[in-house]
Amino acid sequence: MTEFSRLSLNQKTVNRWSMPEALEGCARAQIPFIGLWRDKVAEIGVAATVKRLHELELKVSSLCRGGFFPARTRAEFETHLEDNRRAIEEAAQLETEVLVLVCGAAPDRDIVGARAMIAEAIGILAPFAQQNGVKLGIEPLHPISAADRSAIVTLEQANDLAEQFPLEQVGVVIDVFHVWWDPKVEQQIARAGPRILGFHVDDWLVPLPDPLLGRGMMGDGVIELRRLRRAVDAAGYTGPIEVEIFNQAIWDEPGDTVLERMKKRYLEHVLEPVLEPVLEPIFEPIHEPKQKTQEAL
Amino acid sequence: MTEFSRLSLNQKTVNRWSMPEALEGCARAQIPFIGLWRDKVAEIGVAATVKRLHELELKVSSLCRGGFFPARTRAEFETHLEDNRRAIEEAAQLETEVLVLVCGAAPDRDIVGARAMIAEAIGILAPFAQQNGVKLGIEPLHPISAADRSAIVTLEQANDLAEQFPLEQVGVVIDVFHVWWDPKVEQQIARAGPRILGFHVDDWLVPLPDPLLGRGMMGDGVIELRRLRRAVDAAGYTGPIEVEIFNQAIWDEPGDTVLERMKKRYLEHVLEPVLEPVLEPIFEPIHEPKQKTQEAL
């Protein structure tokens, strides 16, 4: 166990790196977990990715992403389900237990209808996931994305949805960027308990540079990361802590530089501070005035 | 009663207009209510504003805005309270019952502490507001503004806070832009009931042009305006419906043009559609084929 034993690099944080570069960079930085993206895996294929993971002794914290369920037609909905079945199979092959779901938004104005489609899709997919040894992790997204990426926008809503299914099939993934603002976040983290399948850290920058590509490095924004990490720990979660940062400026930096800063910030802002033993003087020290001033005379 | 009898122009929608121009433009467009901003009123003073309101027979739907309570020091907090007392007095002089509160965000990372300061401030101000015949309208802001404008981010939270005080003192103001994404929005509108002190309409554009100045004209975005207006009506609210749009492109248009479009969109997207009487034929009409085709022979 080292201080980085729970750290995971979500490969989107170093978006310019190819699949092999991300795996090698992660191993070089001695980060034990990596969060993978399907489009990146597709660059070299699942088999080659698994081979390299084994060679480098890396574990996969999660596969991003399934979801995007709502559709305009039944045929389109079925296509979305089929794509998610492939994602579940890939997660199993990549030896991760967690497929992260970004559930998708309404294709029209009907957000209530979109939510019904999401619930139906998860109900159809959940047993198939279990058969493959994979759990579906519903990730509530910040309401800024309600119109184009996810009609699931609070942890309470994700918990309500997850609890409709067996613990072995469906859980939640908590990203601080998406939930930090919520007055019920600690209550809902406690409620999620054994359903917590992932914990993502990053930060909320002020002002927000961009709705999608404006996430910050831990410590550069306003999120009380340590408070939320403590809440997730108290809920019983002992799994990987994944750093997922969508930020163009960070993407433009060399990957190794990003990983070094990420490890430093993880220690400073996410984990507990290491307490140095403090030797307090028992008596106030007596300072002899070095010279008498005019005023003192 | 006309179809525009509940319509209110929030003067921020025509931000370039001076105070007199906004009042005259509103009257010219036969819009019965106007929502005022303190900085605009200050251009000509409260007395001159009231005089002109009377001459033009305009009513004030609300005064924007009080709030911004959280502070770094007790002295700063007291300054904020004092400024809010002036806002309450101005609301009374302007003959509106509603002071809209944008509650303010944490000056540091402590969002829980900021919320405690907001609750304390409202508790101090509420009796003073009642003495002046004014109610405090807590406006929950979209979580996109949680870091810089309001630690109050859901209608549920605003209701929780308002219900700590008498109905005669504190209520909520509902802006569709801020609450449309919330899975509990209809439940919380129903709960707010007689505490609803204002209803604001605008729209959520996709993609969002800007976190602050990217609000859309009704119908240009994805919000189900009619669904939310029906929910507010069903909760018993019969007051003004205020159009408040922060949008640079709209601000750059001539004010009269904006007001005409606003009235049109209000009819099309906010009110119930006017049902034309439909005369249905009792029998299917019998069409004689005009000519026999080759195929029919």
Q: What chain A residue is nearest to B143 in terms of C-alpha separation?
A: A181
Q: Using CB atoms, pick whichever of B153, B183, B221 lies closest to residue A181.
A: B153
pLDDT tens figures, B161-195 = 999 999 999 999 999 999 999 999 999 999 999 99
Contact (CB<8Å) A211/B206: no
Q: Which residues contact B126 (CB under 8 A, 6 or more apart)?
A: B136, B165, B166, B169, B170
> Do A179 and A152 form a contact (C-beta atoms < 8 A)?
no
In chain A, the number of structural domains is: 1
Q: Using CB atoms, pick whichever of B144, B147, B183 lies closest to residue A222.
A: B147
Could you tell me the pTM of the whole model?
Answer: 0.91
Evaluate whether residue B287 is within a structural domain. no
pLDDT at position A212:
83
Q: Which residues contact A89 (CB under 8 A, 6 or more apart)?
A: A132
Q: How far is B146 from chain A (nearest CA, A)?
A: 6
Q: Using CB atoms, pick whichever of B109, B144, B156 lies closest to residue A144.
A: B144
pLDDT tens figures, B285-297 = 444 444 444 443 3
Contact (CB<8Å) A221/B147: yes
Evaluate whether residue B275 is within a structural domain. no
Element of type H or E holding B10: strand B7-10
Task: Print pLDDT tens along chain B (297 aa).
Answer: 579 999 999 999 999 999 999 999 999 999 999 999 999 999 999 999 999 999 999 999 999 999 999 999 999 999 999 999 999 999 999 999 999 999 999 999 999 999 999 999 999 999 999 999 999 999 999 999 999 999 999 999 999 999 999 999 999 999 999 999 999 999 999 999 999 999 999 999 999 988 888 899 999 999 999 999 999 999 999 999 999 999 999 999 999 999 999 999 999 999 987 666 555 555 554 444 444 444 433
Evaluate whether residue A125 is within a structural domain. yes
Q: How many CB pairs under 8 A join A and B?
A: 73
Say yes or no: B209 contacts chain A, CB-CB below 8 A. Answer: no
pLDDT tens figures, A129-167 = 999 999 999 999 999 999 999 999 999 999 999 999 999
Residues of B with CB below 8 A from A183's CB? 115, 153-154, 156-157
Distance CA A103, CA A170 (A): 13
- On the 0-12 / 13-18 / 19+ scale of CB atoms within 10 A, A171 is buried
DSSP of A7-59: EEEEGGGGTTS-HHHHHHHHHHTT--EEEEEHHHHHHH-HHHHHHHHHHHT-E
Element of type H or E holding B76: helix B74-93
Say yes or no: B154 contacts chain A, CB-CB below 8 A. Answer: yes
Best mutation target, B111, B176, B203, to test chain A (most A CBs within 10 A):
B111
Q: What's the complex ipTM? A: 0.90
Distance CA B122, CA B134 (A): 13
Evaluate whether residue B280 is within a structural domain. no
Evaluate whether residue A296 is within a structural domain. no
Evaluate whether residue B1 is within a structural domain. no
DSSP of B214-272: BEE-TTSSS--HHHHHHHHHHTT--S-EEE---BHHHHTS-HHHHHHHHHHHIIIIISP
The values of phi and psi at residue B10, to 5°, are -75, 125
Residue A226 sits in a domain of what CATH number?
A: 3.20.20.150
Lookup: tokens for B92: 């009374």
Q: Using CB atoms, pick whichever of B110, B111, B204 lies closest to residue A147.
A: B204
Kindly indicate the confidence band of residue A282, based on its pLDDT and cuts at 50, 70 and 90: low
Range of the domain at B230: 7-270
Evaluate whether residue A111 is within a structural domain. yes
Q: If you average pLDDT over residues A25-54, what whole number do you get?
A: 98
What DSSP character marks residue A63? E
Strands (E), chain A: 7-10, 33-37, 59-67, 98-102, 135-138, 170-175, 196-201, 203-204, 215-216, 241-243
Say yes or no: A159 contacts chain B, CB-CB below 8 A. Answer: no
> Residues B262, B266, B270, B273: is their CA dihedral positive or negative?
negative
Evaluate whether residue B206 is within a structural domain. yes
> Do A139 and A172 form a contact (C-beta atoms < 8 A)?
yes
